[in-house]
Amino acid sequence: MRKIIFVFFWIAFETIAIGQQLSADKLLDMLSVTVSKLESQLLNKRYHSSGTELNGDTAVKTYQYYPVKKSKKMETDSVSRKLLRSVLKETFTLTYQTTSAAEYTGIIEALKKDGFYCEYEKDSTIIPASYLYQHEDYTANASIKEVDSKVWFSITFYKKILPVDRDLHYAEDLLEFTSHEYLVYYFGEKNVKKDIYYFAGNDIVKCSVLFINTKRQVLFIWKDGLNRRKLDNLLFGGQHKLKSQQDPDKYMAENSWALKSGVHAGMPLFELRAMNEKNIAFCGGDAVNPGLVFPESAGKVDFKNADVILGCMNCSDDKFLSTKIMYADKAMQDGRILFVLTIVLYPVAAGIFQ
């Protein structure tokens, strides 16, 4: 009878201990609940707040796991666990930390069964500091770190809030799509292609192309090419060297994505001049970046938030090629046929979590 009772208590303890582990599904669900509900769920699993710290602009609140107290017939759960909720303005992440390698591996395997992937996980030539798993509008960043002679297995979860269709009007709205996976999730796999972008010389970078070969084409250039995420810039219109487009003379003359100012690729210079209501200065053929509108150009259009690059149909003469600075009024008076060839849009640091 005593053996039966002991086995019962042992099973009960094991159930309690396992119950304190936070599964992959539970952690993902916690990204969508209110703070009060999150804390209630954590309290039921014996996680108690141990304080909040400020790390720059980020507030980090830690919930510490307190195991069931040791009794004569049961061993105390020896695994250390923490949950960290990091808040930066209106975005937040949840980080689950455990000293159990089995828990860590189990969560990752569960994520992969749910469709999460890491492109370089099995690449022996890459030894990253962490492994990023992506799926739809979720990311999970897994890493291992030793702190004070204790090994912590850590996974940070994040859910991206993407714009709804009715809010997707301007080129600037696309800055919210900070990974290839977000683009695929939102626009559909058939509308998003992985590609390689060739800069001048031999420099190349991984990119993603939205609505390729259409008037809605956009190139997403990534800072983190390994994971195809973290925006460097967006390219609209123009003549671009893509691996999938080997024709050097091919460019998108028109583009239906417009900046909030109304500027769009394919716009004739006279329209841009009329919109700005003041003369526009741009780089001539003898400048480092021919056609680039000077950001300091005064007028109604703010040229500081994006690079506007002009193309020209009749600018191969010596006068153009020997000039560093040109002005719209004089160029049009001379009969030059200029238009907006390319717009390069950069992510605004404030408000965009990458």
3-class secondary structure per residue, the chain = CHHHHHHHHHHHHHHHHHHCCCCHHHHHHHCCCCHHHHHHHHHHCCEEEEEEEEECCEEEEEEEECCCCCECCECCCCCCEEEEEEEECCEEEEEEEECCHHHHHHHHHHHHHCCCECCCCCCCCCCCCCEEEEECCEEEEEEEEEECCEEEEEEEEEECCCCCHHHCCCHHHHHHCCEHHHHHHHHCHHHEEEEEEECCCCCEEEEEEECCCCCCCEEEEEEECCCCEEEEEEEEEECCCECCECCCCCCECCCCCECCCCCECCCEHHHHHHHHCCCCEEECCCCCCCCEECCCCCCCCCCCCEEEEEEECCCCCHHHHCCCEEEHHHHHHCCCCEEEEEEEECCCCCCCCC
Least Cα distance to 209 among 248, 244, 239 occurs for: 244
Question: What is the domain count for the chain?
Answer: 2
**Structural contact between residues 223 and 267, judged by C-beta atoms closer than 8 angstroms:** no
Residues in the chain predicted with pLDDT less than 50, given as ranges, are 1-18, 349-350
Same domain, 125 and 80: yes
Same domain, 125 and 13: yes
Is 353 part of any domain? no
Question: What tens digit of pLDDT does each residue of 117-163 get?
Answer: 998 988 888 888 899 999 999 999 999 999 888 999 999 999 999 98
What was the pLDDT predicted at 246?
64
Same domain, 55 and 192: no
Same domain, 183 and 101: no
Q: How far is CA 266 from CA 208, 236, 242, 339, in A?
A: 22, 10, 20, 6
Is 354 part of any domain? no
For 305, residues 6+ apart whose C-beta sits below 8 A from its C-beta are: 172, 259, 345, 346, 348
Same domain, 191 and 331: yes
Cβ burial 90-126 (10 Å sphere, 16+ → b, else e): eebbbbbbbebeebbeebbeebeeeebebeeeeeeee
Same domain, 185 and 66: no
Within 10 A of 198 (CB to CB), how many other CB atoms are there?
14
Same domain, 122 and 194: no
Block residue for tokens 């460097």:
232
**Domain boundary residue among 123, 140, 159?**
159
Is 225 part of any domain? yes
Is 192 part of any domain? yes
Same domain, 320 and 263: yes
Same domain, 182 and 280: yes
Is 198 part of any domain? yes
Cβ burial 203-239 (10 Å sphere, 16+ → b, else e): eeebbbbbebeeeebbbbbbeebebbbebbbbbbbbe
Express as a percent the part of the chain with pLDDT over 90.
73
What was the pLDDT predicted at 174?
96
What was the pLDDT predicted at 39?
95
**Domain boundary residue among 159, 193, 228?**
159
Angle, CA of 272, 276 and 282, to the nearest 5°: 65
Is 351 part of any domain? no
What was the pLDDT predicted at 238?
83
Is 350 part of any domain? no
**Domain boundary residue among 115, 131, 159?**
159
Residue 174, domain extent: 165-345
Same domain, 180 and 313: yes
Same domain, 275 and 301: yes
Within 10 A of 73 (CB to CB), how many other CB atoms are there?
10
Q: How far is CA 290 from the centre of its chain?
A: 31
What was the pLDDT predicted at 10?
36
Question: What tens digit of pLDDT does each residue of 217-270 get?
Answer: 999 999 999 999 999 999 999 877 888 876 655 556 679 999 999 999 999 999
Question: Model-level pTM?
Answer: 0.88
Express as a percent the part of the chain with pLDDT over 70.
88
Is 84 part of any domain? yes
Same domain, 230 and 151: no
